[in-house]
Structure formats: C-alpha cells, structure tokens
C-alpha cells in the first residue's frame, strides 16, 4: 500500500491551499475537522485509480479533495445526530463550538465540495458531477435509514448491508470510479473500479463496527461501545441475536430496549457477541467482501504492480485498528 499512501502529502497540500482561501468564523470548524487528520482513504483511492490508468494527477487532485471534504461534512453532521462527544481523539465540532455552528459549517462544507469538483478540468466532468450528486443523495438516504433502524425492534441482515452500502460504501465506490473518470477508461473499467470500492466499503464499515465494540479507545479516537449505547443494529448485533442461545438472545434484546449508557451494558453486550460466535462470523463476511472486491478489480485489466497495491489496500481493511 506504499504507493497509495504516498498521495497523502499531495492531498493535504491541496486542501490546505484551498482552505487558505476561506476566512471567517464559519470556516473555523471546517479547518478544525479537516486538520484532525484521518486515513484519507477516499481521496487516495481517487488518485490511485487515476494513476493506475495513466491520468495526469494534477487534474484529479481537486476531485480527490472534493471527496474528502464531502466525507468530513458527513462526519460532522453524523456526530451531531449521534451526539458523539469526540472525533479522532478530539472534541467533536458541536462540542468544541455548538450545535448551530456545527450544522452551518457542515452545510458550507457540502457547498465547498462542489466548488472543488468544478475546479477540475477533466474532460468527463459532467459524468463526475452526476456520480458525485447521486452519491451525495445515497449517503444521506443511508444515514436516514440508519436512524430509522434505531427505532425498530427487528432489522434483517440484508437491510443492514444495504444501509451500510448507502451510508458508507457508495462514497468509496464513487472515489474509485471518479478516479477512473479522470482518465480515458471505458465504462466497463469505471464500473469495475466502482464495484471494487463499494465492496471495500462494506468491509471497511464492518471493521468500523468491530472496532466500535472491540477496539481500543486510544486507537479508535472515540468512546468504545458507542453503537451499543445507541442500540444500533449492526451486523455484530444481528449475528449475535441469531446465534446466541435463547436466554442470551433475549438478554440482548432487553439490553437494546433500554437507554442505559453504562459501561456494564457495553461489556455485557460484547460478551454475548463474542460467546455467540458473532464476532468470528462477521469477520468471515468481511473477508468475502474483500474477495468480491478483488474479483471486481480483475475486470479493470491492471498490471501486477497495481493489483498488488489495491490488494494491500483491501487486506488493510481486515487488519486496521483505527
């Protein structure tokens, strides 16, 4: 993954220059959340897809920055809706400032992401714009569905996987496809990159769910067990409910019917998830999505060097701790 990681300084430099053009109170939280860092997976994927197909990266960098600014807009608003206190080990924007300021700054980040798209002079800009817009709508729909799940007693696994496809995976798929669209890639290659990113996105979100429950707070950068405390019907929860013995399954339902915010609740739920075999099952699902991603990538027709780069990115989703 060395090549993919090497794009980060170029991405950071472009975003820093872009932010320097925007002054005023409304932009302070924007600068704050973008300077918190993060993996920069999505913009790096834009540039990796473009580079692997021989693009001029200078044309693709504004698109990579647009993806990253949009992604951080979603994080900013997610933290408000989830009432999360921290992001990447620092106070969340609505905590550092206030809820109204966070909403407004998130709104302007949405606008800024479109500004960045239009700064690119790629020939297929209309296709990029159409995909970017469709993806933005899907991400918002995914967040809506996620909130609805919190109010429902029963959620099917297929529904959950579709929700994370919308909320998380489509943006990663779009990042890869937009990178391809900055080149002369044919429609089959663009679709193959989209499918690769989308499948990686599902594996990515499943790993996030695992880390939310079983990760180390210092590495994750936020309170462990947040999904459990919010009664989110993650794949871990659904598999535990299906695989646990009747008494444990009922206890899990009971715990998810309360607004208890205690560490005891988190630990008890984690115990059921682990003892039921749900954690192992979820990791197997994750591995299948990585395999699907690599099969999608085969359709692009890349050389062995680039296949290895993207394979390392896919494998990283199974191993990361933050």
CATH of the domain at 169: 1.10.600.10
pLDDT at position 89: 85
The percentage of the chain sitting over the pLDDT mark of 70, rounded to a whole number, equals 100
Q: Is the pLDDT of residue 219 over 90?
A: no
Contacts with 134 (C-beta within 8 Å, 6 or more apart), sequence order: none
Question: Mean of the per-residue pLDDT values for the chain?
Answer: 95
Name the band, by pLDDT with cuts 50, 70 and 90, for residue 82.
confident
CA distance linking residue 310 with residue 51, whole number of Å: 12
The CB-side HSE value for 206 (13 A sphere, CA atoms) comes to 33
pLDDT for 103 equals 97
pLDDT over 80 at 96, yes or no:
yes
Binned at pLDDT 50, 70 and 90, residue 202 comes out as: very high
Give the pLDDT score at 52.
97
Supply the pLDDT for residue 271. 97
Per-residue pLDDT at 35: 94
- Tell me, what's the pLDDT at 180? 98
- Mean of pLDDT values over 138-163: 94
Q: Which two tokens stand for residue 113?
A: 């992401």
Q: How many domains does the chain have?
A: 1
How confident is the model at residue 235, as a pLDDT?
97
Kindly state the percentage of the chain with pLDDT values over 90.
Answer: 88
Q: How confident is the model at residue 252 (pLDDT cuts 50, 70, 90)?
A: very high
Residue 239 near residue 275, CB atoms below 8 Å: no
What would the 3-class secondary structure string for the chain be? CHHHHCCHHHHHHHHHHHHHCCCCHHHHHHHHHHCCCCCCHHHHHHHHHHHHCCCCHHHHHHHHHHHHHHHHHHHHHHHHHHCCCEECCEECHHHHCCHHHHHHHHHHHHHHHHHHHHCCCCCCHHHHHHHHHHHHHHHHHHHHHHHHHHCCCCCCHHHHHHHHHHHHHHHHHHHHHHHHHCCCCCHHHHHHHHHHHHHHHHHHHHHHHHHHHHCCHHHHCCCCCHHHHCCCCCHHHHHHHHHCCHHHHHHHHHHCCCCCCCHHHHHHHHHHHHHCCHHHHHHHHHHHHHHHHHHHHHCCCCCHHHHHHHHHHHHHHHHCCC
What pLDDT shows up at residue 107? 98
Q: Degrees (nearest 5) of the Cα angle 311, 205, 169?
A: 75
CA dihedral (165, 94, 105, 60) positive or negative: negative
- Please check the confidence at residue 75 and state whether its pLDDT lies above 90: yes
What per-residue confidence (pLDDT) applies to 262? 94
Q: What is the pLDDT of residues 22-57, one digit of tens each?
A: 999 999 999 999 999 888 999 999 999 999 999 999
Residue 222 has pLDDT above 90, yes or no: no
**Does residue 319 have a pLDDT over 90?**
no
Check residue 68 and give its pLDDT.
Answer: 98
Answer for the pair 165, 198: CB distance below 8 angstroms, yes or no: yes
Least confidently predicted of 60-69, 80-89, 130-139, 159-168: 80-89
Angle of the 304-319 helix axis to the 187-214 helix axis, nearest 10: 20
The mean per-residue pLDDT over the stretch 182-191 comes to 98
Average pLDDT over residues 135-158: 94
The reply to whether the predicted model has a pTM over 0.85 is yes
Q: How far is CA 296 from each of CA 31, 48, 192, 292, 315, rounded to the nearest angstrom?
A: 36, 16, 5, 6, 15
C-beta of residue 175 within 8 angstroms of C-beta of residue 292: no
Is pLDDT of 316 > 90?
no
CA gap 86, 147 in Å, rounded: 19
Q: Which domain holds residue 153?
A: 2-319
What is the tens place of the pLDDT at every residue in 162-172?
A: 999 999 999 99
């Amino acid at each position: 993954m060395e090549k993919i990681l090497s794009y980060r300084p170029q991405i950071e430099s472009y975003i820093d220059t872009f932010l320097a053009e925007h002054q005023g109170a409304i932009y302070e939280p924007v600068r704050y959340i973008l300077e918190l860092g993060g993996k920069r997976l999505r913009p790096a994927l834009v540039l990796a897809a473009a580079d692997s197909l021989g693009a001029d990266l200078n044309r693709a960098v504004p698109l990579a920055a647009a993806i990253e600014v949009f992604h951080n807009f979603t994080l900013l608003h997610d933290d408000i809706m989830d009432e999360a206190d921290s992001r990447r080990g620092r106070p969340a924007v609505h905590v550092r400032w206030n809820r109204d300021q966070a909403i407004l700054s998130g709104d302007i980040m949405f606008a800024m992401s479109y500004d960045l798209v239009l700064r690119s002079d790629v020939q297929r800009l209309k296709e990029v714009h159409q995909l970017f817009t469709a993806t933005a709508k899907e991400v918002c729909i995914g967040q809506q569905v996620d909130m609805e799940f919190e109010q429902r007693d029963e959620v099917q696994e297929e529904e959950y996987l579709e929700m994370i496809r919308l909320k998380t995976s489509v943006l990663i798929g779009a990042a890869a496809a937009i990178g391809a669209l900055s080149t002369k890639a044919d429609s089959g290659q663009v679709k193959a990159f989209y499918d690769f990113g989308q499948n990686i996105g599902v594996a990515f979100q499943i790993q996030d769910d695992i880390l939310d429950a079983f990760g180390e707070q210092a590495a994750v950068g936020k309170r462990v067990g947040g999904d459990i405390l919010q009664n989110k019907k993650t794949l871990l929860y659904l598999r535990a409910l299906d695989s646990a013995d009747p008494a444990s399954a009922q206890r899990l339902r009971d715990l998810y019917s309360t607004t208890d915010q205690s560490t005891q609740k988190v630990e008890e739920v984690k115990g059921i998830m682990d003892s039921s075999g749900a954690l192992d099952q979820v990791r197997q699902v994750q591995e299948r999505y990585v395999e699907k991603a690599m099969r999608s990538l085969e359709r692009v027709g890349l050389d062995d060097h680039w296949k290895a780069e993207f394979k390392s990115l896919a494998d990283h989703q199974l191993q990361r701790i933050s």
